[in-house]
Amino acid sequence: MWFEATLIGVLCYLGALSSPWLLGLTGGWYILSRPLVSGMLVGVILGDVQNGIVIGVAVQAVYIAMVTPGGSMPADLNFVAWPAIALGILSGQGTAVAVALAATIGILGTVLFNAMMVLNSYWNHRADLAAARGDERGIYLNSAIGPQVTHFLLRFVPAFIAVFFGARYISGVMDALPATVLTTLNVLGGILPAVGIAILLKQIIRHASMLIYFLVGFICIVFLKLNMVALVIVGALLALIHYRYKPEPAAIAAPDEEAF
């Protein structure tokens, strides 16, 4: 597994929040570190594309409404997207357990994220000293090279270790867990995507009447058994109807004016 672990570790670094190589945040954090994208890529690397996509979709639902205001990280989405999904696939315990593992690893990943912030303050101090001396080379080394080396080690090494050794032991560990623990992980893993969607709805819904569209989508999936392509088409048509035929503010106010 050394090649697969190396590849996942490199992608974990490239998709991290402070990695500048893939058009900054655009190609890295906002594309590679989305579980929907990383799940497919990890599935390709580990030879289980279908399971990777299914787990990626479930994990994406958990973190679909996550924001990082001012660098505050409630969970490290980068570790969720790469080593966590890889361990979820390697565990062979299903989507719900993979989601629970991802949530746990995401919380633990914040420890490494905070460690990186502390180490960056060291490099920043050295860059300030170099600027005071007028040392342009020192400024470059301490503001660009040093932080990226630290960042690479804190991303690549944990991801490599998790995948390389996890491939050997994760299945045995999961099989050795009591049935009660696995049942708990399944229940929690089934609840977490619903929590993520609920947080998203709370953020984007301005009026209670907008829940109608969510309920229409729920009915299409659960009762009408539509696939995602058909659901996207239905959603686009509803959006067009809402945009083209919603009442204008003047038209709504007109009856009230006539009443007076």
pLDDT in tens, 206-247: 888 888 888 898 899 889 998 989 999 999 998 898 888 877
**Residue 13: closest CA among 159, 116, 143, 141:** 159
Task: Give the residue from 85, 109, 93 showing the smallest Cα distance to 37.
Answer: 85
Q: Quote the pLDDT of residue 72.
A: 66
252 is a domain residue? no
Provide the pLDDT confidence category of residue 73 given band limits of 50, 70 and 90: confident
Residue 69: pLDDT band with limits 50, 70, 90: low
pLDDT at res. 84: 92
Dihedral (CA of 153, 168, 174, 36) sign: positive
- Residue 70's pLDDT is 59
Q: Is residue 98 part of a domain?
A: yes
Percent of the chain with pLDDT over 90: 45
pTM of the model: 0.79
Q: State which amino acid sits at residue 46.
A: L
Same domain flag for 211 and 185:
no
Both 200 and 212 in one domain: the answer is no
User: Residues 214, 197: one domain?
Assistant: no
In a domain, 260, yes or no: no
- Is 57 in the same domain as 123? yes
Range of the domain at 55: 1-204
Alpha carbon of 117 to those of 107, 126, 153, 162, 234: distances in Å?
A: 16, 15, 14, 22, 45
b/e sequence 33-58, b meaning 16+ C-beta within 10 Å: bbbbbbbbbbbebbebbebbbbbbbb
Lowest mean pLDDT among 127-131, 137-141, 184-188: 184-188
Same domain assignment for residues 110 and 19: yes
Least confident piece of the model among 59-63, 68-72, 139-143, 253-257:
253-257
End-to-end Cα separation, the chain, in angstroms: 78
Q: Is residue 75 domain-resident?
A: yes
Q: What is the pLDDT of residue 257?
A: 47
Q: Which residue has the higher pLDDT, 202 or 152?
A: 152
As for how many domains the chain has, the answer is: 2
Cβ atoms of 192 and 62 closer than 8 Å: yes
- Tell whether 73 and 117 lie within a shared domain: yes
Per-residue pLDDT of 89-114, as tens digits, reads: 998 888 888 898 888 888 888 888 88
Same domain, 99 and 226: no
**Are 106 and 216 part of one and the same domain?**
no
Q: How confident is the model at residue 49 (pLDDT cuts 50, 70, 90)?
A: very high
Q: Are residues 82 and 189 in the same domain?
A: yes
Q: Are 118 and 239 contained in the same domain?
A: no
Task: Please tell me whether residues 200 and 220 are part of one structural domain.
Answer: no
With a cut of 70, say whether residue 33 has pLDDT above it.
Answer: yes
Question: Do the domain assignments include residue 172?
Answer: yes
Confidence of residue 57 (pLDDT cuts 50, 70, 90): very high
